[in-house]
Amino acid sequence: MSDKNVHSSKFSEEQDAETVDPDVRGDVVDREFEEGVVTEEYERRPSVRQVIHAKVDTNHPDAQVTGLTLEAEERLEAREAEIRRTHQRYDRHQESDREARTQRVAERGSVERREAFARRAASVNPWADPDRVDPRAQLEHEQLGKVNREAARLAGELPGWSRAAISRLVAARLVEGEDVIQAVMAVFEALRGAPGQVIPIQSVGAVNRAEVDIEGVVKTLWQPTHSAIAQVGLLEDETGTIKFTVWRKSSQPTVREGERVRMRSVAKSWYQGQVSVALTGRSQLTVLEDEDE
């Protein structure tokens, strides 16, 4: 009870001191200090709701810097600077060489993969070994001249094959003991029957592949005997004729008699010793007259 009375009396004295003369108020403060009376001071803090609203306003992307405290402005500027630094290139160059370095790494990896594949292929074809000397370097000057001339001629007859690739293949056969004529003929026959090359109709049965590419003129068409067949007829070139079947589900264009067409990836089949071809969904049929236009 006595403590409450002391506090209440002190509060009343402080209120009276606000209205009295400053000198008298000083005497009251000195007397309180001498008596050991401590006046409690309360710190004003924002409420939880005010703190939450302040954080939302500060972090909002559309918030304006005006109206923020100096501390809040510094935090906002530091945050924006950190975002800009994260978006910058790590090498800090005005013109970054990151793309060039990445390209060099990719090219080096591509070369290493090609060399590894060539070493595996060398178990079948010794000339595919990248560490083996180019067979053209083992030829005499006169032989190399003949090889280059024949390679240039074959390159005009074999689309998709370069003169350098053909000359290397011919030179490899010469080093193994064949003469120029034999080597050129062997390479020509091998490359003409390679995948992606249009082969003569006469060679369809001899090629050891399930799919071939052929070209010729539609000689004859007749009525299909089954509803699943769209067209059936004969294709002819200077070496012979072959029966072709166009399956309806392959969705190939319709051809007419007398048109010159190219058929790619046609499937081979045999019936009573005769080879024929069929156009499936993997095949491609092109009318050459339309292609030229």
Task: State the pLDDT at residue 11.
Answer: 47
pLDDT number for residue 141: 87
Of 215, 210, 218, whose CA–CA distance to 198 is shortest? 215
Cα–Cα dist 245/126, whole Å:
41
What pLDDT does 241 receive?
93
- Residue 6: the pLDDT is 46
* 40: its two tokens: 């409690």
Please tell me the predicted confidence (pLDDT) of residue 88.
Answer: 59
User: Rounded CA gap, 32 and 45, in Å?
Assistant: 28
What is the pTM (predicted TM-score) of this model? 0.46
pLDDT in tens, 137-168: 888 888 888 889 988 888 887 777 788 888 88
pLDDT of residue 60: 58
* Alpha carbons 45 and 63: distance in angstroms, whole number: 24
Q: What is the DSSP letter of 202?
A: G
Q: How many CB atoms lie within 10 A of CB 213?
A: 19
Q: Are 263 and 276 in contact (CB under 8 A)?
A: no
44: its two tokens:
């004003």
| Amino acid identity for residue 193 in this structure | G
Low-confidence ranges of the chain (pLDDT < 70): 1-43, 54-68, 86-96, 122, 124-130, 290-293
Q: What is the pLDDT of residue 1?
A: 45
32-47 pLDDT, tens digit each? 545 555 555 656 777 7
Is CATH 2.40.50.140 what the domain over 201-292 is classified as, yes or no?
yes
